Structure formats: C-alpha cells, structure tokens
Amino acid sequence: MAVTISIDQEPLYELAPVGFPLIWVVSDASVVANYFNVSYAAEVYISKVPVTFLSSELVGTFKTTPNNAGSGIFDFSSIVEAYVKADNLAYTQAQFKANPVATATDTFPIHLINKYSRNTNSIVYLKIKFVAYGATLANEAPVQINDQDVSAERQMFNAYIKETDNIDSALNYFGFNRGIIY
C-alpha cells in the first residue's frame, strides 16, 4: 500500500522570528485507518548554512501520536530558541570604546560594541523530515511505513513579536509578515 504523509500546516513565511510558534501538522488518513500503534516522527535539522542533512545538523528526532482527526502536531519553537541567541562577541574589526578588539575571542556586552560587530548565532536554517510509523498487527512493533516528506527550509532569526503585531494567514498556514518590521 502506498503511503504518502502530507504536511497540512506549517509557518507561512520562509523567514520567521524565533519567538513565534513554529507549528507543523502532518497527516495521512490511510496510515491511521490501516495500521496499529501509529506515530509520526520529525527529524529536525538546524544549521548556520542551508541544511544538507548531515548527521552533525540533526538536533533530534521527535515523535507524536495522531489526534482524533489523524493528524500529528509538532511545535518546534522551544527547540529552535536554544540555537538562536545574541552572542556578545566582538570580532577583529569591532571597536570597544574606540579601541580595536585584539582577537575574535574577546567578548564584551553587545550594547558596548559600537562598530563592525557581528553575531554568529542570530540566524539559523531549519528543515524537517517527517515519517510515519505503524504496525500491521496489534502485537507487532511499529516500523517506518512511508517515504519521508521534507518541509520547506526556514530561516529563523533572533527576534520576538508583540501581541499587537498582525499575523497573516493563508488557508491553514500562518506567520508574521517580516516586511513590516520597524
């Protein structure tokens, strides 16, 4: 039986602030109807450059059981927040109170660095592979039963949104329109 997992909901935009809910919903009606002990798994890959699915980019595999509608719901907000942060690093060309920084490892609070400072953890790339697991008999162990469906790559940056900011939606997708950031 051909099984195709589908991504029913994901963030609307490719670039999103890390403080925004990063929710994906996956489903496959034939899996829930024809298998026992069904679960959906998500392999989360995070990198500072576009994701190439190297083992060093894999940050974890997360599983969930389907809800009554047969969908698996994942929220990766807290996971991504652990990888995006302000660095408080000054690089060689940065200046601290008009004195050049000696080495790339010298650190100063970011609000004191005034020229040519750069962060290395302020943006990351995120990509997710989704698979379904199930068993043909009730007493069997679940095994992978479909090909992987890969999410679109997202770029997450160090930011937050206020409760008063407008959230855009299109069909089942939602996101913060970064075109109106002030």
CATH, residue 152: 2.60.40
**CA atoms in the 13 A half-sphere facing the CB of 8:** 13
Q: What is the reported pLDDT for 181?
A: 43
DSSP bridge pairs for 42? 62, 130
Distance CA 115, CA 96 (A): 8
Whether 81 and 36 map to the same domain: the answer is yes
Residue 5 vs residues 10, 39, 52, 97, 150: alpha-carbon distances, Å: 14, 12, 21, 55, 10
Whether 106 and 130 map to the same domain: the answer is no
Domain of 36, in residue numbers: 6-85+121-170
Residue 85 has pLDDT above 50, yes or no: yes
φ and ψ at residue 100, rounded to 5 degrees: -60, 145
Whether 132 and 109 map to the same domain: the answer is no
Higher-scoring residue by pLDDT: 123, 20: 123
At 152, the pLDDT band (50, 70, 90 cuts) reads: confident
Residue 127 has pLDDT above 80, yes or no: yes
pTM: 0.75
Higher-scoring residue by pLDDT: 117, 33: 33
At 87, the pLDDT band (50, 70, 90 cuts) reads: low
Whether 68 and 129 map to the same domain: the answer is yes
Distance CA 111, CA 95 (A): 12
Whether 75 and 97 map to the same domain: the answer is no
Of 18-22, 56-60, 160-164, the one with minimum mean pLDDT is 160-164
Q: Taking a C-beta distance cutoff of 8 angstroms, is the pair 125, 155 a contact?
A: yes
Residue 53 has pLDDT above 50, yes or no: yes
* Nearest in space to 4 (alpha carbons), one of 121, 149, 118: 149
Q: What is the reported pLDDT for 74?
A: 93
Whether 37 and 126 map to the same domain: the answer is yes
Of 14-18, 77-81, 118-122, the one with minimum mean pLDDT is 118-122
Residue 100 has pLDDT above 70, yes or no: no
Whether 100 and 131 map to the same domain: the answer is no
Give the total number of structural domains in the chain: 2
Q: Considering Cα of 29, then 10, then 45, then 127, what sign does the dihedral take? A: positive
